[in-house]
Chain A
Amino acid sequence: MIAAIGGLRRPDGAAKLTGAADYAADTPVDGVTHAALVPATVATGRIAHIDTAAAVRAPGVLAVLTHTDMPRLKTIGSPPLGQSVLPLQDDTVRYEGQPVAMVLAETFEQARRGAELVRATYADVAVPRAFGDGESVTPRPGLISGNPAGRVGDVEAGLAAATTVVTATYTTPNRHHSPMEPSATVASWHGDQLTVHESTQWVFGTQMALAAAFDLPADHVRVVCPFIGGGFGCKGFVWPHTLLAAAAARVTGRPVKLVLTRAQMFTSCGHQPATTQTLTLGTDDDGRLTAVRHHSVNPTSTFDDYAENATGGTRWMYASPAIDVAVLVEHTSRQTPTPMRAPAEGLGMFALESAMDELAYALRMDPVELRLRNEPAVDPMTGQPFSSRPLPDCLRAAAQRFGWSGRPAEPRSMRDGDELVGWGMASVTMDTFRLPSSARVRLQADGRTIVEAGTQEIGTGLPGVLTTIAAQTLGVDPGSVEVHHGDTDLPETSGTFGSSATMGVGSAVAAAATELRDKLDALAGTGAYPRRLADAGLDSLDAEARWDPAERGEGRSIHTYGAIFVEVRVDPDLGLVRMPRCTATYAAGRIINPLTARSQMIGGIAWGYGQAMLEESILEPQLGRFLSKNMAGYLVPVCADIGDIDVSFIEDPDTDASPLGAKGIGELGAVGVSAAIANAVFHATGIRVRDLPISIERLLNPVWDAPTPTTRP
């Protein structure tokens, strides 16, 4: 069924709506044992004693495992592990919420009760190390996406030559992914064969980590995950609970099910670290950049250097003879952070695009015009040609759809009754992660086409996308295509992260389907394929192919782009901001399924609204814990927050990125929203908010901050 607005409806939609789709914790397993974790209540120290007596006596409890009786696990490093420290291996407490014991019981409730009864005492408890207390250092390699530091030209000279310089510090808070489905693992052993049903964005990464932990060949570990109830990055890597469930199943000889509680989701699978970013922009009189400096520092754990590559987008956004970017980290008492939709540019573009707005005001220039003037001909840092660079088209198209041209530039110049109205915009970009994948396509004499790929469906509608690609390539009815996914027994795919799945798995399916078509065309006879199969005496014919991004795009600067324009209404008395409308235009390669692509961007914008207005996980400095580990204390947007969202795409097939011409879109929508909103809030109120989220108290200050550039004669 092809929907009116174009695009195949989700083939998995009915199963999800009716509850028929099985998620990891739904997996029925005979004789399953339920596990519950006991998290550390201090942020740094040593386990002095663990009193398990009461827990062991509690009804239904089968065992309590601690670091003294847990098998020693082997590490494969991170990634695929989310952090380098393995669980229950020693008595050191490195972060609040770290598992210090695990209770196994006949029922979920008994396991949780048992966990409450475990009494751990701690020694050498020290004051937690907070962000801002310590030293910023260059990150050691490991958990860094992209290149954290880089420099071209002479920034000091560029600033000296500039006639207008804007410099400011922007901060973003700690955030938690908070998917609807908490992480869950169901592990069972049959001899030395391990089967794990897992809520993961990367079944093959989980397989790799488990095989390493238990010293098994990879084909002894099967990981199954057809559906995930959201992940947003916190299920991208492998975290302690997965290893613990598998280890406990081995120790007890029974299948083990471990479902994290909502509170544990705040300390078990990473978070987006806060960032403090300093931006300096210098321009000549015409608004052409002479220098760009963007430095960011983020907290990480004491044991891993997770560098949030916030300065990534600044490397290729605007033309400047001198660019200097750097990311530093600070070691603090917390779990290792991890990517969260949208990492890197999702944070950095708040700073860069806010600074560009400040610069536009300093220059008295339209912010769209300022961006157009600084459009680079080639990647400003590497000198590489862009595979495509439709940013100006996005800016112009979105500006027109929004009706930007009538905007009076002065802050506080638009009103509606008691409300101040503001319009703001931002450019959008995201790096293009291209990851290899394989797929198999089989056509059967009964007319059905089966697509097989290990990949998991995270909610983006990937089965629909793969159906479309296979159906179009083979020229068959989409209704006859079935997609089998979410199992390491199927062809290997990359993780569902980095907005890479449609491009990677989709390209593999296209390649396999093309190969199959060639095979089918080589069969004798005419007519539809199933008929030809039957004539050839075959039940089915298949082809498997692997797509490797290394085959193309070498030497190109490959990214996705967009532009977002928002209107905000500010109640200046009460410091409240609402966003009645938003227009965004994206160029992100060929759009395979307009229906699900549009959903992705709307979801991304809502996600970005959360970053702008609501989300903040406070790390309590005295206790060294994320203070509110529940959804009443950690606010994400609700429907009432989200006004009209107008999403459009610019045709931009990019065959340097992939043979399909597709690129990643899953995170792009979340980028730039916070800057556009903050810029609109400035336009409405004259108050420049440089610290997210834009909370009430930041707007109650009635002082109108006039922009304060240093202007040189």
Chain B
Amino acid sequence: MKAFAYAKAPDLAAALAAIEDPGTSVIAGGTEMVNWLKEGIATPERLVDINGLPLDGIDARPEGLRLGALARMSDAAPVVAAEYPVLAESLLCAASPQLRNMASLGGNLLQRTRCPYFRAEVLLPCNKRAPGSGCAARHGETRTQAIFGWSDACVATHPSDFAVALAALDATVIIVGPRGERTVPVTGFYRLPGDDPTVETVLAPDELVTAIDVPAGPHTRASHYLKVRERASYEFAMVAVAAALAHDGGVVTDARLALGGVAARPWRLDRTEAALRGVSLDDTEALRAAVAASFAEARPLAGNAFKVKLAQRATLRALTTAGSRGMVAS
């Protein structure tokens, strides 16, 4: 680990001023950052600690949620459990209780891939860690890698569960920087790798995430987060599905679906969502066909063709579970 300087930011302005310097990185809960420092994945000159900033609010309002970037995962989950089950489930199935007590929501969105080559204790051929060094995973171990949206430069997936649930709920990220405040939908927050997998989000190095807004709606209650993984707890998703539905007597009027573990960003299933409108939740064949509509464009790698099948089955299951919730509620 390279030595670095450390300072606490007294307020937002100071934090923003600090990160104008490209050698300075932000640390919140530190559950990701400290690992990166130890493995040489991040080598900042300076860390600015933003935990003192008043960004930890968790506000549930009629028009939606405003979640502060520094709210802890374990604090947010119970507040959103009743009206936004998909969010609470995505938080509670992530990491471990100890980690969730430390981990901030903003930090969760900005965690980086679990690609085993990227996470190695030494530098392996990895364009994300060392641009131009190649991608050892492309023709290597691909079991946990992407089936959508990858490029020859990088085939990694984004590991956040929470981001997938947010993407399904059309949440937006509030960003501040020297150019002022802006709002970006979670679906547009992440970049696909293209030629440069080092740039993962639209957040500029001199910007901070301050909050996340989640609009309310009839679909948020009939929602579910399904995380598929071999270990019953404390494992990243092999595939995950966030589903939120509005329906009228079991006939879908509005469906929102996002997948995790399949791409460098939460993967919305636009075609499926469109195809589901007007479909009865009892009509398994129609649901299956609607799900399949989004998978024509799947491009599995040598070792992960099974994820195409798995993701479709998981989507169907999540849809059914979300639908049953709506009916119980109404």
Contacts and interface: CB of A to CB of B under 8 A. Distances in A.
Given A41-B122, A263-B121, A575-B310, A614 B230 contact: yes
A261 B121 contact: yes
Given A263-B121, A629-B120, A697-B306, A638 B230 contact: no
B314 interface: yes
Interface string B216-248: 000000000000101111111010000000000
A574 B228 contact: yes
B1 to A, nearest CB: 6
B119 A633 contact: yes
A638 B231 contact: yes
B234 A700 contact: no
A386 to B, nearest CB: 39
Contacts of B136: 620, 622-623
B140 interface: yes
Given A113-B1, A640-B232, A696-B238, A627 B141 contact: yes
Interface in B81-103: none
A116 interface: yes
B325 interface: no
A641 interface: yes
A112 B116 contact: no
A627 B228 contact: no
A214 to B, nearest CB: 31
Contacts of A628: 116, 119
Interface string B114-148: 10110111101000000000001001110100000
Interface in A656-713: 693, 695-697, 700
Interface string A81-118: 00000000000000000000000000001001100100
Contacts of A695: 230
A608 to B, nearest CB: 15
Interface string B55-73: 0000000000000000000
Contact of B310 (A574, A637, A638, A640): A574
A471 interface: no
A632 interface: yes
B231 A576 contact: no
Interface range on chain A: under 10, 10 to 19, 20 to 34, or 35 or more?
A: 35 or more
A637 B229 CA distance: 12
Interface in B280-325: 306, 309-310, 313-314, 316-317
B233 A573 contact: no
A618 interface: yes
A113 B141 contact: no
B40 interface: yes
Nearest to B40: A116
A574 B317 contact: yes
Contact of A696 (B141, B230, B317): B230
B235 A627 contact: no
Interface size class of B (residues with CB under 8 A): 20 to 34
Contacts of A73: none
Interface string A36-77: 000101000000000000000001000000000000000000
B328 interface: no
A472 interface: no
B40 A574 contact: no
A288 interface: no
A151 interface: no
A635 interface: yes
Interface in A102-156: 109, 112-113, 116
B313 A629 contact: no
Given A113-B3, A700-B306, A574 B230 contact: no
B234 to A, nearest CB: 5
Nearest to A112: B1
Given A574-B313, A622-B136, A613 B230 contact: yes
Contacts of A113: 1-3
Contacts of A635: 230-231, 235
A576 B228 contact: yes
B74 to A, nearest CB: 17
A696 B119 contact: no
Contacts of B316: 573
Q: Which of A627, A635, A641 has the most CB of B within 10 A?
A: A627
Interface in A632-646: 632-633, 635, 637-641
A384 interface: no
A139 to B, nearest CB: 29
B77 to A, nearest CB: 17
Task: Give the interface centre of B117, B120, B235 by most chain A CB atoms within 10 Å.
Answer: B120
Nearest to B226: A574
A396 interface: no
Nearest to B123: A41
Contacts of A39: 122
6 contacts: A113-B1, A113-B3, A261-B121, A576-B228, A627-B117, A638-B231
Given A633-B114, A635-B231, 15 more contacts: A113-B3, A261-B121, A614-B230, A618-B141, A622-B136, A622-B140, A629-B120, A630-B119, A632-B119, A633-B119, A638-B234, A640-B231, A696-B230, A697-B310, A700-B306
